[in-house]
């Protein structure tokens, strides 16, 4: 069954945007009476049927719906985006498929990318939500200065993955406790010693994702997957 995103669903019918209408009618060949599914990104899952197969304004008639409860734990990955945006797009797609509630993009001292436009990443997140059958669309945050993020973080549920020497706990251990987990992932050059010290001074604990040295986007996905796996 084909799935469409309907964030502003209100009433017994819903009209797809023009680009989605064209795709539904001209590409998917949907006609009157054909069944589809709608997701509002907030847990709502709706059964619907095509009422008017207009390629510019395809109208759907809403039927049965259900509300999917959010997960009992909250996964938040805060990552310094790579210079190559394709790698961040890959991370967002896979993280949504695995299951993540929030992604924050950090501007750290060694960040190769200082600015980021969310429009493309939001579209990728929506597509991944539909493809994977998720009912909740993760929150994507604009670029945030590292120091400001750390200052507002909740130390009990925030962890920093870095490559500096020192004692670190496996993420699998700390993620198994509590109802939420936020993991900080640095840029390719890692967090600076000063940034690590700032996090530790705030009570944020250091964690390890394993023995391998991972690329930024791989580490971010490994963090999301690890939390999802142990919960």
**pLDDT value at position 174?**
84
Q: Which residues pair with 136 in a beta bridge?
A: 42
How is residue 3 written in tokens?
Answer: 């799935």
10-residue block means of pLDDT along the chain (231 residues)?
Answer: 90 93 95 96 95 95 93 93 94 95 96 90 96 94 96 95 86 81 94 96 94 91 89 68
Residue 163: its pLDDT value, please?
84
Question: Taking the chain, what is the end-to-end CA distance rounded to the nearest angstrom?
Answer: 30
Is the pTM higher than 0.95? The answer reads no
In degrees and rounded to multiples of 5, residue 112 shows phi and psi of -85, -20
pLDDT of residue 58: 96
HEC secondary structure over 104-164? EEEECCCCCCCCCCHHHHHHHHHHHHHHHCCCECCEEEEEEEHHHHHHHCCHHHEEEECCC
Any idea what the Cα angle at residue 167 is, between residues 166 and 173, rounded to 5°? 145
Query: Residue 191 gets which letter from DSSP?
Result: -
For the record, the structure tokens of 227 come out as: 């939390």
Question: Which tokens in the block code for residue 73?
Answer: 């734990």
Q: What is the pLDDT of residue 229?
A: 81
Query: Rounded to whole angstroms, how far apart are CA atoms 56 and 19?
Result: 7
Place of tokens 């004692």: 167
Structural domains in the chain, sorted by start:
2-67 (2.40.240.20), 74-230 (3.40.1280.10)
């Amino acid at each position: 069954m084909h799935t469409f995103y309907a964030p502003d669903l209100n009433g017994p019918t819903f009209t797809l945007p023009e680009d989605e209408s064209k795709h539904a009618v001209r590409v998917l060949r949907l006609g009157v009476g054909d069944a589809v599914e709608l997701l509002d990104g907030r847990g709502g899952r709706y059964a619907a049927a095509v009422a008017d197969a207009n390629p510019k304004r395809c109208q759907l008639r809403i039927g049965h719906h259900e509300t999917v409860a959010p997960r009992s734990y909250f996964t938040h990955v805060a990552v310094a985006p790579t210079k190559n945006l394709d790698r961040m797009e890959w991370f967002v797609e896979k993280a949504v498929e695995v299951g993540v509630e929030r992604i924050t993009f950090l501007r750290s001292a060694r960040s190769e990318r200082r600015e980021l436009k969310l429009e493309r990443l939001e579209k990728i997140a929506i597509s991944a939500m539909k493809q994977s059958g998720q009912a909740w669309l993760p929150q994507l945050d604009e670029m945030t200065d590292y120091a400001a993020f750390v200052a507002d973080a909740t130390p009990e549920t925030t962890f920093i993955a870095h490559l500096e020497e020192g004692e670190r706990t496996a993420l699998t251990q700390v993620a198994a406790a509590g109802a939420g987990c936020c993991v900080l992932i640095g840029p390719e050059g890692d967090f600076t010693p000063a940034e690590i010290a700032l996090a530790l001074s705030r009570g944020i604990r250091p964690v390890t994702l394993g023995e391998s040295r991972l690329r930024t986007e791989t580490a971010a996905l490994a963090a999301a997957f690890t939390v999802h796996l142990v919960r």
